Chain A
Amino acid sequence: MAGARELLPAQDHGSRAPRIVLLDAVAAGVSDSEGLRALARSLCEHDGATHCSRSYHFPFALIACHDEAVGVDIERVEHCDQTFADSILTPSERIASECTERGFHADITSLWSSKEALSKALGDALQYDPRRLEGPGCWRDGRSGPWRASTLDVGAGYVAWVCWRAS
């Protein structure tokens, strides 16, 4: 359908990956976020998978459907300062993220997005304090136990992550 684009995880984990779709409100002819949400929900219902995760940043919506737990998140790269980084990173991530200024905003936004995707996949996202969650951004090979994670290419200025439980 117009405005919907299928995405593949950047990292191949061999196991069955979730089905991921990126919706573009402009191309799909939807004028506001309400309509975008309705469209995303209908896509999920149409897919019929047992687990579904949605994330929005107007005009984009990101949807992932999977037979096991899955979480997805899309964010636009925003300005991040050190205070914010300190308030969402675990001690080990804080050490790992001391990188150059050039990539800082994208890195922090990406770390945040990876934690959002993971906490959504884990279930009740609000129970998780990002400062206590080792986000997939620092996982080795994008895996941790039964969990898999990968970035998604959604275009310039945006970062997106998908996280799922491998069966």
Chain B
Amino acid sequence: MAAIDVTRMLAQSSRDKQTLTADPETAPTTAPTVGPMPGLRDSAHAASLLDIFDATVAANSARVALDADDGVLTYGELSEAANRVARGLRKQGVGPGERVGVYLESGSWRLYAGILGVLRAGAAYVPVDADDPPARAAEIFDGADVCGVLEGDLRLRRLREPRGLSRELAVDDDAWIIFTSGSTGRPKGVAVTHRSAAAFVAAEQRLWTVRADDRVLAGLSVSFDASCEEMWLAWGTGAALVPAPRAVVRSGADLGPWLVRRAITVISTVPTLAAMWDAHMLANVRLLIVGGEACPDELGWRLAEGREVWNTYGPTEATVVSTAAPIVPGEPVRIGWPLAGWEVAVVDDSGSPVPLGESGELVIGGVGLGRYTDAELDSVRYAPLPALGWARAYRSGDIVRETIDGFEFVGRRDDQVKVAGRRLELGEVEARLCAVHGVRAAAAALQKTASGNGVLVGYVVGDVEAADVRAVVAEELPDGLAPLVLVLDELPLARSGKLDRKALPWPPPDSVGPSDPRLRGTGAWLAERFIDQLGPLAVTAETDFFASGGSSLAAAKLVSVLRGRFPSVAVADVYEHRTLGALAEHLDGLGEAGAQTAPPLSPARSRWGAVQLCGVLGLMAFTAAQWLVAVLGYDQWEGVGPRVGWVPLIAGWLLVTSAPGRALIVVAARRVLLRGVRPGRYRLHGWLACRIWFVERLAELCRVDGLAGTPWAPRYARLCGDRVGHGARLGTLPPVSGLLSVGDGATLEGQVDVHGWWIEGAELVLGEICVGAGARVGTRCLLMGGAEIGAGAEIEPGSVVNGAIGAGERWSGSPARYVGRAGAAWPATAPSRSAHRRFWKAMYGAGLATQSALVLASAVPGVLVLVTLGVNLNSVSSIASASVIAAPLMTATFLISYALLVAAILRFVWPWLAPGTHADDGAVAWAFWFSEALMESTRTLLFPLYASLYIRPWLRLAGVRIGCGTEVSTVVGLSPLVSVGELSFLTDDVVLATARARGGWICVEPIVIGDRTFIGPGAILRSGTVLGDDCLVGVLSTPPQHSASGTSWLGVPALELPRVPDRPDPARTTAPPRRLIAARAAVELLRLLLPGSVSVILGTGVFVALEHMGSADGVVAMAAAAPLALALAGAGAVAFTIAAKWLIMGRYRPLERPLWSPFIWRDEIINTCQEQLARVWMLDMALATPMMSAYLRAMGADVGRDVWFETLAVTEFDLVTLGDGAVVNRAACLMTHLIHDRLMRTGPSSIGAGATLGPESAVLPDTKLHPACSVGGRSIVLRGEELPAGTRWHGAPVAALAARQAHTPGGVAEPVAALVSA
């Protein structure tokens, strides 16, 4: 694009416009317009500044040239003074080509005389503002290589020998060298020749008119080239130059009067300064030239009211000004067209010109180009522009756009910033800020927060509110780019008077509140919390916490504050909901603390309690019937008492004592009492809840679970009315509610909780469960009401399902999560049927019979003992008295016989447990079922053997490999497939699932447990698990298949949680002295025999009482008295347990005791009494009734009113607190002690009013459930945790649930997201 030189044309036209529209009062009235300079009419004859000055002096020698505070000089006097200076300089050898520094007091006539003097001498002057520090002056003078410095009263301080040439001044000699600071900070010297300077003066005169009677303000620092413009505005035309004190120029209030007093009519300044001036200050100013910075439209229009205003643009490197344009109100402020002699081009990054209208970098050529004193820098910055054929071209670094009306300034290339990923021109932001009503001046900058991220800040000056400005600007800028607005009294200025961007205050002096008006409620509150963490920030709903500079520590701090209001929030929530809006929404969903209160106690509860007690009596009646049959049988056999005949006796036995009879009773109860039960939420104190409770207890009493795992289980289920498909394997029997449907070929492994109902708060929640065809549900899973398991799906052991599982999917965990495809670890085809399957099917029956026979057989030695003692078996009284005395002996013989018999049988059966994959209708499956059934019975009948010294020898006798020193409690699944190392610890109810079943296959893999490894209560080890040494598996956890030594695991699925093991005294934990071993053996002997003996005595008592009743009053009286007799016996058992607790233990307190302590042995005695006496004789029937609460209180617990307590897994009673209406569901555990590291620690646990502990869940010591909070099934509340009131939790370990996320029966609750909040 050729250089366009229409300046004159346009300037002419604009001047005409101005003349036409100008206010008559300011229109020139006296001298006519002064045309171009005399002597410079012909621009071809290049001239020097001195030529210009001489011409002015010649024409105006009597006019005032300089009106300074310390002197007024006419042109003649000024010229004379300059000449004097020049002579002095020349005498010292200064001449053309030389440089002289000028360091004179600003505002003084001497400064200007000095400058002109240096020029007259032919040298270039290098000005430094006298107010600048000497160090800076020295740097500049050194950089410019001046020979000396004019200072003080115009004396030259020589720095070196002048090299001045004695010749005439040439136009290409330097006129001045002015230093400009760049982005790197080190100032660069720009040398401008006379040719350029003179061309500049001449070009400006063509644009506007300055008359000899004008008075020009000299307010800018002499260090800056704009001061040259000021000087030559005056000296080029004969006007007076009026220097102003620096303070006056910067001040607002003082300037106005000063301008008037000094009659200033022409000002050249920067927009930032001009913005501070009111209109009335500029009343006499008729020509205003702004430059040096971008001038906002509004400012330009405001200044243009009543005067001629020009906007100029140009870098120091191209002699002060390169382009100019008049400011016309209503039209955008442009930089216009180049000065006469200047050439400009707009190029792209490669240096090629861009089309008209597109933006690019402005490149300047022509007569105005200066020169860097640093040659190397000069060659780079003034490199040629080949595209246009320019030998020298200065790249301005400014982005402009050419339009039909002139060039428009877009922005500094460096001022394009990136905010929130978007490119943004700071200039645009500034322009918009300026456009706001009331804003006088504005600046924008990209500041950094403490964490190094950018935040856009707008600074405004004016009588405005920051929030209002921001609201207006936010409407216009792209979303998310609205700046943080700060209102300042004034914008910081650099020495040049230009805006000093670096001095914009940051961080702001006082905190700024969230200013996005769209945020409401939780969002607004959350925005303030964001600002607390992130620093002052413009926060909108889209603000991303981490993108705005939040670290993980900041997120954790944010969460700790949020928890005050939303107790369930976790750090992972912030990662998952990164924007403020999403997080606010999530918080609202979580619900605030205390939102739910405990439901009031139901008025129906006392009536309901009475109904339950009747139910208990009914259950007693059933047990009594069994006793009746036994007593009558004895009578018949021995020929004493009432004899009813064999037929009724056998009928009675078949009905109430035989396995089929018991099963039929349960079938009848279900069909009668629970007909037509539908899913839903019911009142806890309602008739349905009562019926369900009763039938559950009855089913337990009748021990129908013995049928589970047998081939007849599905038939039994169908008899009860359940929908069980063809070929389904039921290792667990369907629930009494009848709401379970099992598809064809589905497999339910053992001990799966499919009850389908639980108590939450004051409601019975009942739901339907569907297990699809071919699906597999692993052992110890919990299927909540509403669970729908798709065809072929697989649920890993220990998982909790409360929603829909798709077909063919494999889920695992509490709560269950999708983990893969089902069937991966299984053979693809169905197994072929075993050769002897009919035989093995029959063996199930044999197995059931054997179990009963074993018990009876073990009682035989006891009878033999009596015989040996000479007891007359015919006489009841003699039996009675002998029994009381011989009870311990009888107990011992029973235990020994049973133990030996079981061991022998297991030795015989266990070898059939072969590792590998087998069909489930053969020997392996039967052997599993039978051995497990036997072991199950030992956990009841040989209960005191477990967790004692005697269990290990017995297990070894049966064939299990257990290392020395290992403690074994009631573990499910022990067999030769399990090998346990030394000094390990297997606690209560650990499940070693060596076998898994699906689709007709049973897959068996051994389990290996290393040395010194602790496995917590309820933990499940799946088949093939190998645990290393020194491992720890937490309560209810499912460790991975392989774990390295020394690792600790907690959760379902288990996460590795490194922990510091305690190292208590080995003498009390791992290597006890003999005397401790002996003491323990003795105490445990007591534990083995005492409860059993009491049972024998109680049993004998019942037997004797019934016998007497029968003999005395007949069968009917006996039948009527039987329940009462049993009730009394039960009461006696419970009383004994309570007495034992208080006598042996006293009050439980929080403490720490190593394993080999009498405390633990005493604890075990009480626990055994509870299990073998209280439970068997009474509590099994009284679970979840007010009698349980009474029992707990008697044992020392603090129990409120109307508590539902459906478990016996509680040991340290005094440490337990249950509030009114608290609910503890079946199989839940109040674990008030921990025993890892072989150190028992006890601590209190509290369940608040109306709080719920779900089925199979555990609370550890030092926990507190606040009122109305709810913990789901199979969850763990860890030590020290407090769950706030009204909140809902689920998981191992517990994680918060959203307030609205309910376990809705019948409906499908969503499966929980894969990322579980920790």
Contact residues of A with B, CB < 8 Å?
Answer: 32-33, 56-59, 75, 78, 80, 83-84, 86-88, 90-91, 109, 112-113, 116, 118, 122-123, 126-134, 138-140, 144-147
Most A Cβ at <10 Å: residue of B452, B571, B1048: B452
Give B1246 Cβ to nearest chain A Cβ, in Å.
Answer: 15
Output the nearest chain B residue to A33 by Cβ-Cβ distance: B452
B825 touches A (CB below 8 Å): no
The 4 A-B residue pairs with the shortest CB-CB distance, nearest first, are: A145-B1046, A58-B452, A129-B1318, A91-B1280
In the bound complex, how far is the Cα of B1061 from the Cα of A133, in angstroms?
14
Contact of B1056 (CB < 8 Å), options: A91, A116, A122: A122
Say yes or no: B1056 contacts A109, CB within 8 Å: no
Contact of A86 (CB < 8 Å), options: B560, B1056, B1059, B1279: B560
Contact of A132 (CB < 8 Å), options: B452, B1047, B1278, B1315: B1278
Say yes or no: B1045 contacts A32, CB within 8 Å: no
B940 touches A (CB below 8 Å): no
Chain B positions 1052-1105 with a Cβ under 8 Å from a chain A Cβ: 1055-1061
Say yes or no: B1055 contacts A128, CB within 8 Å: yes
Most A Cβ at <10 Å: residue of B1058, B1281, B1318: B1058
Residues of chain B within 8 A (CB-CB) of A118 are 1058
Residues of chain B within 8 A (CB-CB) of A116 are 552-553
Say yes or no: A132 contacts B1044, CB within 8 Å: no
Residues of chain A within 8 A (CB-CB) of B452 are 32-33, 58-59
Give A62 Cβ to nearest chain B Cβ, in Å.
Answer: 13
Say yes or no: A144 contacts B1058, CB within 8 Å: yes
A134 with B1057: in contact, given A112-B553, A146-B1046 (CB under 8 Å)?
Answer: yes
Residues of chain B within 8 A (CB-CB) of A147 are 1058
Residues of chain A within 8 A (CB-CB) of B1278 are 132
B557 touches A (CB below 8 Å): yes
29 A–B pairs (Cβ distance < 8 Å), ordered by A: A56-B551, A58-B451, A58-B452, A75-B553, A78-B557, A83-B561, A83-B564, A84-B556, A84-B557, A84-B561, A88-B560, A91-B1262, A112-B553, A113-B553, A118-B1058, A122-B1055, A129-B1318, A132-B1050, A132-B1057, A132-B1278, A132-B1318, A134-B1057, A134-B1060, A138-B1060, A139-B1060, A144-B1058, A145-B1046, A146-B1047, A147-B1058
Output the nearest chain A residue to B560 by Cβ-Cβ distance: A87
Output the nearest chain B residue to A140 by Cβ-Cβ distance: B1060
Instruction: Place the interface of chain B in its size category.
Output: 35 or more
In the bound complex, how far is the Cα of B571 from the Cα of A128, in angstroms?
9
| 16 further A-B pairs in the complex, CB-CB below 8 A; given A84-B557, A145-B1044 | A75-B551, A75-B553, A87-B559, A87-B560, A88-B560, A116-B552, A116-B553, A126-B572, A127-B572, A132-B1057, A134-B1059, A139-B1058, A145-B1030, A145-B1045, A146-B1044, A146-B1047
Residues of chain B within 8 A (CB-CB) of A112 are 553, 556
Output the nearest chain B residue to A118 by Cβ-Cβ distance: B1058
Output the nearest chain A residue to B1318 by Cβ-Cβ distance: A129
Give A133 Cβ to nearest chain B Cβ, in Å.
Answer: 6
Residues of chain A within 8 A (CB-CB) of B453 are 33
Say yes or no: A145 contacts B1047, CB within 8 Å: yes
A134 with B1058: in contact, given A109-B553, A112-B553, A146-B1044 (CB under 8 Å)?
Answer: yes
In the bound complex, how far is the Cα of B1293 from the Cα of A129, in angstroms?
10
In the bound complex, how far is the Cα of B1281 from the Cα of A88, in angstroms?
12
Which secondary structure dominates where chain B touches chain A? loop
In the bound complex, how far is the Cα of B559 from the Cα of A127, in angstroms?
15
B607 touches A (CB below 8 Å): no
Say yes or no: B1048 contacts A84, CB within 8 Å: no
Say yes or no: A144 contacts B1059, CB within 8 Å: yes
Most B Cβ at <10 Å: residue of A109, A112, A129: A129
Say yes or no: A88 contacts B556, CB within 8 Å: yes
Give A58 Cβ to nearest chain B Cβ, in Å.
Answer: 3
In the bound complex, how far is the Cα of B571 from the Cα of A22, in angstroms?
27
B575 touches A (CB below 8 Å): yes
In the bound complex, how far is the Cα of B1048 from the Cα of A144, in angstroms?
9
Residues of chain B within 8 A (CB-CB) of A75 are 551, 553
In the bound complex, how far is the Cα of B1055 from the Cα of A49, in angstroms?
25
Contact of B560 (CB < 8 Å), options: A84, A123, A126: A84
Q: Mark B1025-1046, 1 if CB is under 8 A from A, else 0.
A: 0000010000000000000111
A127 with B1316: in contact, given A58-B451, A132-B1057, A134-B1059 (CB under 8 Å)?
Answer: yes
B563 touches A (CB below 8 Å): yes
Output the nearest chain B residue to A75 by Cβ-Cβ distance: B553
Residues of chain A within 8 A (CB-CB) of B451 are 33, 57-58
Residues of chain B within 8 A (CB-CB) of A132 are 1050, 1057, 1278, 1293, 1318
Say yes or no: A129 contacts B570, CB within 8 Å: yes
Say yes or no: B556 contacts A87, CB within 8 Å: yes
In the bound complex, how far is the Cα of B557 from the Cα of A80, in angstroms?
8
Residues of chain B within 8 A (CB-CB) of A126 are 571-572, 575, 1315, 1318
Say yes or no: B1057 contacts A133, CB within 8 Å: yes
In the bound complex, how far is the Cα of B1281 from the Cα of A59, in angstroms?
38
In the bound complex, how far is the Cα of B448 from the Cα of A59, in angstroms?
12
Residues of chain A within 8 A (CB-CB) of B1280 are 90-91
Q: Mark B176-192, 1 if CB is under 8 A from A, else 0.
A: 00000000000000000
Output the nearest chain B residue to A149 by Cβ-Cβ distance: B1058
In the bound complex, how far is the Cα of B557 from the Cα of A127, in angstroms?
17
Give B416 Cβ to nearest chain A Cβ, in Å.
Answer: 15
Q: Mark B1278-1292, 1 if CB is under 8 A from A, else 0.
A: 111100000000000
Output the nearest chain A residue to B1281 by Cβ-Cβ distance: A131
A91 with B1057: in contact, given A116-B552, A145-B1030 (CB under 8 Å)?
Answer: no
Most A Cβ at <10 Å: residue of B564, B1047, B1056: B1056
Say yes or no: A127 contacts B556, CB within 8 Å: no
Give B77 Cβ to nearest chain A Cβ, in Å.
Answer: 55
In the bound complex, how far is the Cα of B573 from the Cα of A129, in angstroms?
12
In the bound complex, how far is the Cα of B1062 from the Cα of A140, in angstroms?
10
Output the nearest chain A residue to B1262 by Cβ-Cβ distance: A91
A127 with B1318: in contact, given A57-B451, A132-B1293, A145-B1045 (CB under 8 Å)?
Answer: yes
